[in-house]
Amino acid sequence: MEEEENQNRRRGSQVGRRRNVDKHRHSWGKNLLEDYFIPTTLYFDVDFRRRFRIQPHLFNKVMHDICNYDAYFVQKCDATGVLGLLPEQKLIAVIRMLAYGASADQVDEVSRMGKSTTLEALVRFCDAVENLYTRDYLRRPTPRDLQRLLQKAEARGFPGMIGSIDCMHCQWKNCPTAWQGDYGNRKCQKSIILEAVAGFNTWVWHAFFGVVGAQNGLNVLGQSPVFNDVLRGQGPNITYQVNNTVYQTGYYLADGIYPRWTTFVKSIPNP
């Protein structure tokens, strides 16, 4: 009889814990939606973008696409019948980690998620974004895109400009010991170099990533495929006129380290 009573007591306590977890999850999700997704002030869009580096309508579009792509982000019941986490919770945790370089432990106060769940959501989010948006957003411009870029650059006083090119040293905190000699930069830090070409609206249509940290923009340019089409004679034919001189090739805005090629225009020293 005692053993049966103990089992009943344990079952009752487990049911109580499940109810408490259900109540807490529901209240956490409700508070999060009220804090970030219900526009109670005139500055809702501004505050949202300041916190997550993304506009609310774009966040909703990304959330809708990712939930359709991966059912992991959809709210569903677990094995005990308790509702799981909201898709907003998972995406908010992931986007804050990416936007601020935060760890999983630093976003748990906002998302109320465990470390392992947050890291799994991060991996799945990156995989979904790569598969969903690479074809549209990380690609070379089509002739129609190129014409639009040239028109907007000319309206800003840069006829013939395709975009801006530069290199960024991304610090690699957890670089493997065997690779630390190659990936050490001039500041004795471990880093990887990203070469990118971006338009005025931060559309990155060229990204060359993974070069070791102990190099500069010239070394990266020698390995980069950014001019492969030009070398094969397949580059776009761009004609523009500056100071009564007609040019037949487009150019990139660059800083002083890049060579004096017709495809590079250095920053204006005294604009």
Say yes or no: 199 and 78 in one domain: no
- Taking the C-alpha atoms of residue 94 and residue 117, their distance in angstroms, rounded to an integer, is 10
| Residue 141 CB neighbour total at 10 angstroms | 19
Strand spans (E) along the chain: 161-171, 191-198, 204-212, 240-242, 245-247, 251-254, 264-266
Residue range of the domain that includes 27: 2-135
> pLDDT at position 19, please?
46
Say yes or no: 193 and 224 in one domain: yes
pLDDT bucket at 67, cuts 50 / 70 / 90:
very high
- Taking the C-alpha atoms of residue 149 and residue 52, their distance in angstroms, rounded to an integer, is 28
Three-state secondary structure call for residue 34: helix
Q: Is the dihedral of CA 120, 126, 130, 131 positive or negative?
A: positive
> Which residues fall within 8 angstroms of residue 140, CB to CB, at 6 or more apart?
205, 206, 229
Report the domain count for the chain. 2
What is the arithmetic mean of pLDDT over 57-77? 89
First to last CA, the chain: 90
Asked if residue 271 is part of any domain, the answer here is no
Global pTM reads: 0.64
> pLDDT at position 133, please?
87
Asked if residue 245 is part of any domain, the answer here is yes
pLDDT digits (tens, 9 = 90+) for 18-33: 444 445 555 666 776 6
- Taking the C-alpha atoms of residue 127 and residue 123, their distance in angstroms, rounded to an integer, is 6
Asked if residue 241 is part of any domain, the answer here is yes
- Asked whether residue 219 carries a pLDDT value surpassing 80, the answer given is yes
User: What is the average pLDDT value for the chain, to the nearest integer?
Assistant: 80
